């Protein structure tokens, strides 16, 4: 889906739809649409929902039900301030038909009520290579103006009153305000599910027992980004987790910058390189396999620097991307990335860098430059969490390695202003590693 | 922000608050308890957290302290009943708090493991401690403890998970026979469960790793009838993998046959040229002149290949060593033939073709080793790593 633009200049009416050329014409949502992307102003949120080349322009949902309107793959994303907004996405059936379901409503509220309604947008893309695959329709509703640190109940679907189709009800909780003294946020860090969707099911089930607020996915959800059947497995395998927990994903090299990736997740900014403040944590997500590799030293590095400068007050700083900068396994340490981003990470004293790519778990000693930091509190800990399903690689050890383990698993981060607890688990719940960092003045 | 690692921190931030945040009264006490927890003084930390919540239940940190204490009782102190009490207290006393969601989830987990009563509390405590202390205790000692737990608590609600865990840990330790035994035990004792399905999948994986393709395929096919589409996709991909690996194994056998035929052909040719098997053996043991030319080149290439990537280093070393061996055999045979008289063009061409074929076979074997062939295919499709 979406990319978000700060919308000081966007003052049109609520949900004003405008074409890619800014003509204001409402785009056609039929199968025959030009698949050149487009944008839709979400005035309540103050930004635009933008689809990319390869997808239709987003259009406001209509109370129209197709042949198979039952919502499926209900899941959450983040595009705006996580303390006051949430994105709900889902799919319906008969996506290839000329009369698909267009109803895109969310009923939601606090204290178990469903007394508020929001209408979202719908668009579709063509999976596969060369526009020859199946049509995949996304329903996407952005809920804005929510109360911080509050639990909401919601259901998705819609209809014209005479005929309606709704999902089961689910819940989510908004992020606490950044200055909250006591609030703890829980992140699950996981990646590289490709090929191993049954293991991913087990991992997701284990993750759900920790009730995370946010899943940070380190990339490579699928083996080939254009193949829709893999994405179906990816989302179906973790349906329960994703219906209650938003997911932010780094782009992995196996996603191949496919339209599927950019349509199936809802993330801030251009969905490749962006920053996100979630309670006491500031997270910068970077695409380390962009279409133009020059972006690594350019746009990505600039954004990393800007985000870290702007978030200097954040108690904890994280960077997430896919290819590990420090790894003793198959792929090894990516020295190109370290050359581009390492000095920025060091300068801003980033606490933890999260990645995947090598299919195992590894935690580095605190690193500064190309060496282990002389004083631990000056270094950055690099964590490889890339073992959520793909065939495991042998783990190794380098001079930087603190712990490494060849097991399927995930990492749980519990973050509050004064403390960061990291625990690595295997998919069966075995504890692999733990680390506690306490903030000092 | 600067920060200190576990065990090294002396200065704790008593109130690390963002702009505009109010300084909480119990913040220092909370972080003192957290420091004890970070140092591994779990009992002291749990008591301190509980004391904080009891002393000042309206403090913003009270609910956080309770859930930290509950977590310690559940995962570190072997007291799931106390953990359950504290989780319930969080849910009852602080239903709208941020940590209430986690407390509800942990109550569900504990409910499945404990049932309504307390009879399985001891078994659960041991089970959790095995999982938590696995890193310090080690795999085999952990397996023994888990086996003992199953003997002493046959009705333990997480027995299926425990059996699967033992199988997986044996698999991790490359003790595949034991692993297979436990995976099969899970399927026999807990038929129709999701855990049994996972055990079946693991059994198939072990069989595949051992090269027992037919058995692996049979196991995977027995798992294909599953309602969850994602699991069905996994099995379909596993079956594709069986076929791929089976094909690779066939090709590897063919490559070994080519190498063996080449060696045999060289021996037979040398026998023909020298006149006796003993003489042929002696002739082949004598390194030909081209071997000495190639040796330094091969050594330099092998050394140069020893980069950070061990797979590449191993493969290149195997290829140059194999090629060196082929040149030795081929060269020695030719030298023996030359002693009988000048060589015809046909003989030279045939021998060069045979040597080329043998080198190709060795290359294939070297690249297939450690899945380097997959890595090359991966690089072709997805770009340079």
pLDDT at B308: 62
**pLDDT attached to residue B59:** 94
Q: What is the mean pLDDT of residues A41-45?
A: 94
User: Which residue of chain A comes nearest to B11, CA vs CA?
Assistant: A440
What mean pLDDT is predicted for residues B355-378? 84
B197 pLDDT above the threshold of 60: yes
Point out the residue among B24, B134, B168 whose CB comes nearest to the CB of A182: B24
Judge contact between A350 and A318, C-beta under 8 A.
yes
| Å between A213 CA and nearest CA of chain B | 10
Residue A431 has pLDDT above 50, yes or no: yes
CB contact residues (below 8 A), chain B span 306-345, against chain A:
308-309, 311
Chain mean pLDDT for chain A:
91
pLDDT at position A18 over 50:
no
Answer whether A351 touches B (CB < 8 Å): yes
pLDDT band at B117 (very low <50, low <70, confident <90, very high): confident
Average pLDDT over residues A68-92: 97
Q: What is the C-alpha separation between B39 and B362, in angstroms, rounded?
A: 55
Which of B4, B106, B168 lies closest to A376 in CB terms?
B4
**Would you call A226 an interface residue with chain B, using a CB distance cutoff of 8 Å?**
no
Q: Do B13 and A232 touch (CB under 8 A)?
A: no
Q: Tell me how crowded residue B83 is: count the other CB atoms within 10 A of its CB.
A: 30
List the single residue in A198, A256, A435 with the smallest CB-CB distance to B382: A256
pLDDT at A108: 98
Please tell me the distance from the alpha carbon of residue A324 to that of residue A385, in angstroms, as a whole number. Answer: 9
Residue of B nearest to A421 (CA): B38
The predicted structure's pLDDT at residue B105: 96
What integer pLDDT is reported at residue B24 of this predicted model? 46
Are A436 and A376 contacting, i.e. CB atoms less than 8 angstroms apart? no
Nearest to B101 among A173, A180, A351 (CB): A173
Up-side HSE of residue A281: CA atoms within 13 Å toward CB? Answer: 28
DSSP string, B123-134: HHHHHHHHHHSH
Residue for token pair 């969310």: A106
Q: What is the predicted ipTM?
A: 0.88
Within a 13 Å sphere around the CA of B261, how many CA atoms are in the beta-carbon half? 15
E strands, A19-110, in order: 38-42, 47-51, 59-60, 72-77, 85-91, 105-110
B positions 119-178 inside 8 Å of A (CB): 131-135, 161, 164-165, 168, 172
Which of B202, B230, B313 is most worth mutating to test chain A (most A CB atoms within 10 A of its CB)?
B230
Between the two ends of chain B, the Cα-to-Cα distance in Å is 33
The pLDDT of residue A441:
46
Any B CB within 8 A of A395 CB: no
Is A441's Cβ below 8 Å from some Cβ in B?
yes
Distance CA A354, CA A303 (A): 17
Averaged over B241-258, what is the pLDDT?
93
Q: What is the pLDDT of residues B128-154, one digit of tens each?
A: 999 999 988 999 999 999 999 999 999
**Which of A207 and B305 is assigned the larger pLDDT?**
A207
Percent of chain A residues topping a pLDDT of 90: 82
Give the integer Cα–Cα distance in Å for B24 and B13: 12
Tell which residue, A186, A313, A175, A277, has the closest CA to residue B17: A313
Residues of B in contact with A323 (CB under 8 A): 385
Q: Inform me whether the pLDDT recorded for A93 exceeds 50.
A: yes
B288 to chain A, closest Cα gap in Å? 38
| Nearest alpha carbon to residue A402 among B171, B6, B71 | B6
Helices (H), chain B: 27-38, 42-55, 62-75, 80-93, 100-114, 121-132, 134-137, 139-152, 159-172, 176-189, 194-209, 213-223, 229-274, 277-285, 289-304, 310-340, 345-368, 372-382
Question: Which of B4, B5, B109 is the best residue to mutate to test the A interface, defined by the most A CB atoms within 10 Å of its own CB?
Answer: B5
**pLDDT reading at B384 higher than 60:** no
Mean pLDDT of A104-129: 95
Kindly state the average pLDDT of the residues B39-47.
96
Q: Does B64 touch chain A (CB under 8 A)?
A: yes
Q: What is the pLDDT of residues A324-345, one digit of tens each?
A: 999 999 889 999 999 999 999 9
Mean pLDDT of the residues in chain B: 88
* Helices B42-55 + B62-75 axis angle, to 10: 150
Q: Do B18 and A180 touch (CB under 8 A)?
A: yes
Question: Cα(A90)–Cα(A141) distance, rounded to whole angstroms?
Answer: 9
Tell which residue, A103, A90, A85, A104, has the closest CA to residue A44.
A85
Summarize the confidence of residues B336-359 as an average pLDDT. Answer: 90
Digit-coded pLDDT (tens) for B201-210: 999 999 999 9
Of A179, A254, A407, the CB nearest to B21: A179
Alpha carbon dihedral A345, A348, A351, A355, in 10-degree steps, equals -20
Task: For residue B26, give the chain A residue with the closest CA.
Answer: A182
Identify the weakest region by mean pLDDT among A118-132, A266-280, A334-348, B19-33. B19-33
A214-217 and A185-190 beta bridge pairing: parallel
Give yes or no for A271 touching B (CB within 8 A). Answer: no
Residue A152: closest CA among B103, B91, B99, B101: B101
Residue B160 token pair: 């299926």
A377 close to B (CB below 8 A): yes
User: What is the share, in percent, of chain B residues with pLDDT greater than 90?
Assistant: 70
Q: Which of A403, A438, A441 to mutate to test the interface with B (most CBs of B within 10 A)?
A: A438
Distances from the Cα of A314 to the Cα of A348, B25, B57, angstroms: 11, 22, 28
Beta bridge partners of A367: A372, A380
**Average pLDDT for residues B4-28, to the nearest whole number?**
46
The model's pLDDT over A201-251, given as tens digits with 9 standing for 90+, comes to 999 999 999 999 999 999 999 998 999 999 999 999 999 999 999 999 999
Q: Which residues of A touch B34 (CB under 8 A)?
A: 418-419, 436, 438
The residue of A91, A129, A176, A181 whose CB has the most chain B CBs within 10 angstroms, and thus the best one to mutate to test that interface, is A181
Bridge partners of A166, per DSSP, are A157
- Mean pLDDT value across residues B292-298: 92
Q: Does B224 touch chain A (CB under 8 A)?
A: no
Residue B103 pLDDT exceeds 90: yes
The answer to whether B96 faces chain A, any CB pair under 8 Å, is yes
CA distance A115 to A104: 16
Closest Cβ–Cβ partner in B15, B38, B168 for A438: B38
| Contact (Cβ atoms closer than 8 angstroms) between residue A394 and residue A330 | yes
pLDDT (tens digit per residue) in A133-166: 889 999 999 999 999 999 999 999 999 888 999 9
pLDDT attached to residue B42:
96
CB contact B3 to A (< 8 Å): yes
Give the residue ranges of DSSP H helices in A250-375.
259-264, 301-310, 335-347
CB of A361 closer than 8 Å to CB of A403: yes
Q: What pLDDT score was predicted for residue A33? A: 67
Closest partner residue to A198 among B8, B9, B234, by Cβ?
B234
Question: Across residues A342-357, what is the average pLDDT?
Answer: 97
pLDDT value at residue A64: 93
Task: List CB contacts (< 8 A) between A377 and chain B.
Answer: 2-5
- According to the model, what pLDDT value does residue A115 have? 97
pLDDT value, residue B309: 67
Asked if A331's CB is within 8 angstroms of B60's CB, the reply is no
Residue B307, pLDDT > 60, answer yes
Closest CA to B157 of B133, B183, B193, B198: B193
Residue A6 has pLDDT above 60, yes or no: no
Q: How confident is the model at residue A4 (pLDDT cuts 50, 70, 90)?
A: very low
Average pLDDT over residues B230-240: 87
pTM for the predicted model, two decimal places = 0.85
| Mean pLDDT, rounded, for B81-93 | 97
Which residues does chain B have within 8 Å of residue A418's beta carbon, measured at their own beta carbons? 12-16, 27, 30-31, 34
Q: Which of A44, A37, A47, A45 is CA-nearest to residue A123?
A: A37
């Amino acid at each position: 889906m979406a990319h978000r633009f700060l919308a000081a200049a966007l003052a049109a009416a609520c949900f004003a739809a405008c074409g890619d050329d800014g003509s204001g014409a409402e785009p056609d949502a039929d199968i025959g649409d030009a698949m050149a992307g487009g944008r839709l102003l979400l005035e309540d949120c103050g930004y635009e929902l933008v689809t990319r080349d390869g997808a239709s322009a987003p259009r406001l949902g209509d109370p129209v039900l197709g042949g198979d309107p039952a919502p499926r793959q209900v899941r959450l994303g983040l595009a705006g301030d996580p303390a006051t907004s949430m994105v709900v996405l889902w799919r319906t059936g008969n996506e290839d038909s000329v009369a698909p379901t267009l109803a895109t409503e969310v009923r939601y509220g606090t204290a178990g009520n469903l007394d508020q309604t929001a209408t979202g947008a719908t668009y579709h893309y063509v999976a596969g290579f060369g526009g020859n695959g199946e049509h995949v329709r996304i329903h996407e509703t952005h809920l804005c103006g929510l109360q911080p640190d509050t639990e909401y109940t919601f259901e998705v679907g819609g209809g014209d009153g005479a005929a309606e189709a709704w999902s089961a009800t689910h819940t989510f909780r908004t992020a606490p305000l950044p200055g909250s003294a006591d609030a703890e946020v829980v992140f699950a860090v996981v990646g590289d599910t490709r090929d191993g969707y049954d293991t991913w099911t087990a991992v997701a089930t284990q993750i759900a027992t920790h009730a995370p607020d946010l899943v940070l996915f380190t990339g490579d959800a699928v083996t080939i980004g254009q193949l829709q059947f893999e994405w179906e497995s990816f989302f179906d395998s973790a349906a329960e987790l994703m219906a209650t927990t938003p997911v932010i994903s780094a782009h992995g090299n196996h996603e191949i910058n496919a339209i599927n990736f950019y349509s199936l997740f809802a993330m801030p900014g251009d969905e490749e390189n962006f920053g996100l403040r979630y309670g006491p944590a500031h997270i910068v997500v970077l695409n380390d396999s962009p279409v133009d590799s020059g972006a690594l030293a350019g746009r990505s590095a600039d954004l990393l620097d800007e985000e870290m400068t702007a978030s200097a007050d954040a108690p904890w700083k994280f960077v997430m991307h896919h290819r590990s900068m420090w790894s003793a396994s198959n792929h090894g340490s990516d020295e190109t990335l370290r050359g581009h981003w390492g000095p920025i990470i060091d300068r801003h004293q980033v606490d933890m860098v999260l990645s995947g790519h090598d299919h195992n778990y590894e935690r580095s000693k605190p690193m500064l430059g190309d060496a282990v930091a002389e004083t631990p509190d000056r270094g950055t800990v690099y964590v490889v969490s890339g073992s959520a399903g793909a065939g495991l690689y042998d783990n190794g050890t380098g001079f930087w390695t603190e712990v490494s383990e060849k097991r399927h698993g995930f990492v749980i981060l519990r973050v509050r202003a004064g403390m960061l607890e990291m625990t690595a688990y295997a998919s069966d719940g075995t504890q692999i590693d733990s680390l506690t960092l306490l903030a000092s003045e | 922000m600067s920060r200190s690692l576990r065990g090294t921190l002396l200065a704790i931030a008593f109130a690390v608050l963002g702009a505009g945040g109010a300084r909480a009264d119990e913040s220092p006490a909370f972080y003192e308890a957290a420091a004890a927890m970070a140092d591994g003084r779990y009992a002291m930390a749990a008591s301190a957290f509980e004391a904080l919540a009891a002393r000042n239940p309206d403090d913003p940190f009270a609910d956080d302290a309770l859930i930290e204490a509950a977590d310690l009782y559940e995962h570190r102190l072997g007291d799931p009943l106390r953990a359950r009490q504290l989780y319930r207290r969080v849910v009852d006393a602080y239903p709208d708090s941020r940590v209430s969601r986690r407390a509800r989830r942990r109550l569900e987990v504990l409910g499945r493991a404990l049932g309504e009563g307390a009879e399985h509390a001891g078994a659960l405590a041991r089970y959790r401690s095995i999982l938590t202390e696995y890193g310090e205790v080690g795999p085999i000692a952990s397996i023994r403890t888990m086996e003992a737990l199953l003997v002493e608590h046959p009705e333990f609600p997480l027995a299926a998970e425990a059996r699967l865990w033992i199988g997986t840990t044996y698999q991790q330790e490359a003790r595949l026979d034991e692993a297979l035994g436990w995976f099969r035990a899970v399927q026999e004792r807990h038929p129709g469960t999701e855990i049994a399905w996972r055990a079946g999948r693991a059994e198939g994986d072990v069989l595949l790793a051992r090269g027992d393709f037919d058995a692996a395929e049979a196991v995977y096919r027995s798992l294909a009838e599953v309602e969850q589409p994602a699991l069905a996709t996994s099995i379909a991909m596993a079956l594709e993998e069986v076929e791929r690996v089976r094909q690779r194994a066939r090709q590897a056998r063919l490559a070994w046959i080519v190498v063996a035929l080449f060696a045999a052909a060289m021996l037979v040719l040398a026998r023909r040229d020298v006149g006796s098997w003993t003489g042929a053996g002696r002739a082949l043991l004598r390194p030909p002149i081209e071997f000495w030319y190639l040796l330094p080149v091969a050594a330099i290439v092998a050394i140069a290949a020893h980069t950070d990537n061990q797979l590449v280093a191993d493969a290149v070393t195997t290829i140059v060593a194999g090629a060196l061996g082929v040149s030795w055999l081929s060269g020695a045979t030719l030298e023996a033939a030359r002693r009988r008289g000048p060589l015809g063009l046909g003989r030279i061409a045939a021998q060069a073709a045979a040597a080329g074929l043998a080198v190709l076979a060795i290359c294939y074997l070297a690249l297939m080793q450690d899945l380097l062939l997959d890595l090359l295919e991966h690089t072709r499709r997805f770009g340079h790593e």
